[in-house]
Amino acid sequence: MQQQEQILIVMVIYLGLIIAWGIYQGRKVKSNQDYAIAGRKLPGWVAALSERATGESSWALLGLPGAAYAMGLTEIWTAIGCVAGIIVAWALISWRLRDAAEKYNITTYTDFIAGKHAETALWIRAVASATIVFFFFFYVGAQFLGGGKTLFTMFGINPQLGMLLTAGVIVPYTIYGGFRSVVYTDVIQALVMITALIIGPIVGLRYLANHPETFASGIGEALEMAGSSYLSLVNGASGFGAGVIIVGGFSWFFGYLGGQPQLSMRFMAISDIRQAKKARNVGIIWTLIAYVGALMIGWIGLAIFGPKGLEDQEYVMPAVMLEIFPPVVASILITGAIAAMISTADSLLILSATEFSENLLKPLLKKCRIAHSSALLQSRVVTASLAVIALALAYVVEAELIFSLVSYVWAGIGGTFSVVILLTLLWPRFHGRAVVLTIVSGLIFTILWISTGMEQYVTARLLTFFVALLVAVLATYIIPKKELLNQA
C-alpha cells in the first residue's frame, strides 16, 4: 500500500507539471497553423522525441517488455520489424515529407496528399479525412479506456473515474495549445521513457548478479530454465507455423512507412532540412536504445519472477522497477510509463480535430455559405467537442466494439496510407483517382479480413499493404488521370 501511495503522489505531481508545461507552450499559439502543426517550425530534436513518444508510448514500456517476458526470444522479430520500419521512415521518408509540407504549405496530413493530387483534391480530402477521423476518434476512446484500466490496476481507482481523470489530464492543454502543446509534452515523456529504458536494464543486470535467490542469475539462464520455447526464435514452431511467426512480427514494418498520420505530422512540422537531419539521428538512436532496453526489461523480469510469477505480463516493467530501485526512483519511472500511455490520446485527439476542422467542417461551411468564427477558435471548439464525444462513447459503447475498431488502425490506416504516401512521394505517374481507390480498397480489405477470422492465419498488417499496393498500381495504369481543368 505504501508503494501505491508513493507512486500515486509522484504521478499527481508529474502530471500536474505536464499540464502546466502544455498550457505554457499553448501561450505561444497565435494562428491556426501554430495550433495544427506548430507553424512548421519545430527543432529537429523536438520533432524526433515527440514522434518517438507518440509512436511507442505504452508499447515500449508495457507492451514489448510484457511480450518479451511471455514469449522469450520470439519477440525479437517484432522488434526487428518495428525498428526497421522506423529507421526507413526517418532515413528515407521524413525529409521528403518535410520538403513536401513546405512546398504545399500544408496544415494537416491530408493536405499533402490533396495538394499533390490537386485534380481530385475534394474527393481525397473527404475520403481520407473521414477515414482518419472515424477510426482515430474511436482510438481516442480506447486510450481513455486504457487509462481507466491502468489506474484501476495500479491504484484500485474505479475504471470509469479513471477514464475521467485520463481525459482531465490531456484535454485542457490539447484544447488550448493544440499540436504545439502536444509535441512539447511528448518531449518530456520521451526523455523519461528513454531514461527508464537505459538505466532499467543496467541496474537490473547488476541486481540479478547480486541476488541469487531470484528465479535465475542471468537472462540466458532464465530463458533456458523457462522452457525450450523461450530460447526459440519461433516459439518452438516449425515449417509454416515458424514462417507465420516471423512474418507476423516483421509485418509491423509496413505501418511505419508514412502511413501513421500522427507520426508523419511530426516529420512535416520540422523547420528546415538541417533540422530534419538532426531529427533523423535523434529518432534512430532513440529507437535502437529503446527497443534493446524494452526487450531486456522483459527478460530481466523473467529472470527475477520466473515465467509464472506475474498474473499480468504487461505489469513486468512496473514490477521490475519496484524490485530493483528505491521506491521514489521506481515511482518516477513507473509514472513515466503511465503518463506516456495516457498522453497518447492527445496526439490522436489533435490529429482528428484538425482533420475534421480543416478538411470536413471548413469546406462544408464554405459551401453552405455559413459564417464561422476564426480558424483558431473553430479548431479549439472542434477539439473540445471531439474529446467530450469520445469520452462519452468510452462510457456507453461496449469496450469490445471500440477495441475491435482500433484493431483496424495499424493495418487499415497504416498499411493503406503507407502505400499512398510512398507512391505519392516516389512515383510521379500515381494520380488522385488511384489514391481514392487505394484508400477505399485497403480499408475494405482490412475490415473483411479481420472480421472473418483470417487474421489468425496471415496478419492484415502484411496483406493490406500489398493489396493496397496492387490496387494502386492497377488503378494508375487502367484508370485515366482526371485533368485539373475538368474538375467541378
| Neighbour tally for 401: CB within 10 Å | 12
Band of the pLDDT at 486, cuts 50, 70, 90? Answer: very low
CA distance 143 to 166: 8
Instruction: List the one residue out of 341, 228, 304 whose CA is nearest residue 296.
Output: 304
What pLDDT does 488 receive? 39
For 101-114, the pLDDT digits (tens) are 999 999 999 999 99
The pairs formed by 239-242 with CB atoms below 8 angstroms and a separation of 24 or more are none
Tell me the CA distances in angstroms from 52 to 290, 413, 488, one per residue in order. 10, 19, 41
Give the Cα separation of 48 and 90 in Å (integer).
9
**CA-closest candidate to residue 271, choices 39, 22, 51:** 39
- List pLDDT tens digits, range 433-449: 999 999 999 999 999 99
Q: How confident is the model at residue 370 (pLDDT cuts 50, 70, 90)?
A: low
Residue 337 to residue 63: CA distance in whole angstroms: 11
For residues 300 and 219, is the Cβ–Cβ distance under 8 A? yes
Convert the pLDDT of each residue in 237-253 to its tens digit. 777 788 888 888 889 99
C-alpha cell at 17: 507539471
Q: Is residue 359 within 8 Å of residue 134, measured between CB atoms?
A: no
What fold characterizes domain 2-399?
Sodium/glucose cotransporter (1.20.1730)
| CA dihedral angle for residue 309, residue 312, residue 318, residue 321, rounded to 10 degrees | 20
pLDDT of residue 5: 81
- Predicted local confidence at residue 399, as pLDDT: 75
Indicate if the pLDDT at residue 487 is higher than 60: no
pLDDT at residue 47 tops 60: yes
As a whole number, the mean pLDDT across the chain is 89
Sign, Cα dihedral of 360, 94, 46, 316: positive
* Residue range(s) of every CATH 1.20.1730.10 domain in the chain: 2-399
pLDDT confidence bin for 371, thresholds 50/70/90: low
Please report the beta strands in 54-123, taking only residues with DSSP state E, as ranges in sequence order: none
Cell reading at 122? 475534394
